[in-house]
Amino acid sequence: MRSPWAFMWNELGEFGLDFRLRQHLDSITRTLRLRTRLFGVLLIAFLIYHFVPPYSGRAGLALTIGNLREELAYSGPFTCAAVVFRNASASASASGGSVKPEESADFHATWQSRFNGSEVRDFQSAYRHRCPTMQTSITTDINVRPADCRGCQTRGLANAVNIALGSFFLAQESLAPRRIHLIGDRWTYGAWRDHFRDFTDGFDLPECSITQPPPSNASVVIGAVNDVRLKVAPDGTIAFHGPAHAQFKLNVNPPDMSIFAGFADIEIKPGRLYVFRKKSVLAQALLIPRADLMELIRGIWTNLVRRDGAFMTVHIRRGDKISEREAPAFPVALFYRALKRRCLNDPGKCSRTLLLLSDDEEASRQFKAAAGNCFLITDFQSEVRRLGDGNAGAWNVSRDIHVSQPGFDRFSQGQRTLHAREMIVSLFLMAMSEFVVCTYSSNVCRLVALLRGGDLKSNNILSLDWEWNAQ
């Protein structure tokens, strides 16, 4: 185990503790002979908690202590110089010859393997086959809040998508599966169909379209708003009670809490891993970027993998998630240190290329200051500039727009739509990266896990706070 005092002197400056404070601390602990490892961990965490803002209570302190404990248990040198990064020659040998990474990287093949596997295709085919026989439906309305409802809250983009996927999962898993519909033509982030394609487009029966508004002669009936109730039995079976054609309106106050309670109930039985697997297939089947967004994803991905065949991502969620105390806060440097710890534990596996994503400019600055020259750090706007063709100016959106959702809603529709497109591109880039450091308290991070699919326990996502959940 590493000495907490060497740790404090050589590396704790990343967290913002003043040199003189550390010097006084060392003098005091020498005098009192309090130089045990346990005392060191607790004292370091306590000082960070009180002298390095921001925090949101004891949870942030507990997370900091946990991360420090892991670092102190690391036996080798905890420095960037000790990291063995992957290189072009390693990527070439892995691909079976002396092929350059940029030549071996196939975007289409990677996309198909990540987001259009056999389970996704089977679900899409089965839904088209079963839909005409379904006599009931669930419609999830994510449109803007009613103008006459000042108390109604607007859901964030990732939150709205997560809840819509959750309601669709419940509809498909119920004892009597229901057709699924989404109303999003007046979404605060721009029309849903401006961002995503619908795999049911072109289907003969208009009532089976998921996102296309049905024509007046279609047999789709929209039921009473939030007038459906969900029951999850102890054995995990799901049943809806209420109108045959029910509408779940998201941006109203209060929302239908039985839906949210259902998310928690189904994690008990049939279980979190089962829910994750099924919801992951739904996410991959329903979230299909439109052609222009797909082209932007392809261009950025191609540049990111050009150096050594892969890249990693870090997503730092701050803004209203921290200001509203929805999640614990801790030093931004922990994101970097967790990533470095991963790379030290897996020599030759980490790419040096790092895509840094955040809703907070200051958080990005702190991360870059902590990381120094260890990684080749880039961000969304830098990658757009690399593509040329005048793209950079069009994507010049402030990073600090999520201080609060009401504040974001005051932006023009054009700015909100542009931000939504950036978020969607970022979601898929994160899902295609080699390794992700984020926080599952963020809906973005939980969505990325769904898009990556696979096994929740080995999906190469490191969350620094919560475990994944379906809510």
Per-residue model confidence as pLDDT tens digits over 411-464: 888 888 888 999 999 999 999 999 999 999 899 999 999 999 988 888 999 998
Q: 446 with 307, same domain? A: yes
Paired tokens of 413: 């529709």
Q: What is the pLDDT of residue 105?
A: 60
Q: Is the pLDDT of residue 393 over 50?
A: no
Q: Which of 288, 321, 343 is the last residue of a domain?
A: 288
Q: 326 with 270, same domain? A: no
Q: Which of 224, 257, 288 is the last residue of a domain?
A: 288
38 confidence band (pLDDT: 50, 70, 90): low
| Contact indicator for 331, 289 with CB cutoff of 8 Å | no
Q: 206 with 310, same domain? A: no
Q: How many residues does the chain have?
A: 471
Q: 385 with 408, same domain? A: yes
Q: 357 with 260, same domain? A: no
Q: What is the mean pLDDT of the chain?
A: 79
Q: 95 with 154, same domain? A: no
Residue 470 lies in a domain: no
Q: What is the pLDDT of residue 103?
A: 40
Distance from C-alpha of 169 to C-alpha of 174, rounded to nearest angstrom: 9
Paired tokens of 406: 């009401």
Q: Which of 234, 259, 288 is the last residue of a domain?
A: 288
Instruction: Report the candidate in 327, 341, 336, 317 with the shortest Cα–Cα distance to residue 69.
Output: 341
Name the pairing type of β-strands 288-289 and 436-438.
Answer: unpaired
Query: Structural domain tally of the chain?
Result: 3
Q: 274 with 335, same domain? A: no
Residue type at position 133: T
Residue 469 lies in a domain: no
Distance from C-alpha of 352 to C-alpha of 374, rounded to nearest angstrom: 8
Q: 32 with 148, same domain? A: no
Residue 208 lies in a domain: yes
Q: What is the pLDDT of residue 326?
A: 75
Q: 99 with 68, same domain? A: no
| Contact indicator for 433, 355 with CB cutoff of 8 Å | yes
Task: Tell me which residue range forms the domain holding 361.
Answer: 80-108+291-463
Residue 188 lies in a domain: yes
| Contact indicator for 67, 337 with CB cutoff of 8 Å | yes
> Which residues have CB under 8 Å from 60's CB, separation 6+?
49, 328, 329, 330
Q: 181 with 264, same domain? A: yes
pTM over 0.85: no
Q: What is the pLDDT of residue 77?
A: 78
Q: 64 with 12, same domain? A: yes
Distance from C-alpha of 49 to C-alpha of 399, rounded to nearest angstrom: 26
Per-residue model confidence as pLDDT tens digits over 126-142: 999 999 999 888 888 88
Residue 113 lies in a domain: no
Q: Give the burial string for 208-227 (b: 16+ CB within 10 Å, else e).
A: bbbbbebeeeeebeebeebe
More confident residue, 258 or 438: 438
Q: What is the pLDDT of residue 19?
A: 47
Q: Is the pLDDT of residue 35 over 70?
A: no
The CATH number of whichever domain residue 449 belongs to comes to 3.40.50
Q: 306 with 257, same domain? A: no
Residue 67 lies in a domain: yes
Residue 468 lies in a domain: no
Phi then psi for residue 383, to 5 deg, are: -70, -35
More confident residue, 20 or 114: 114
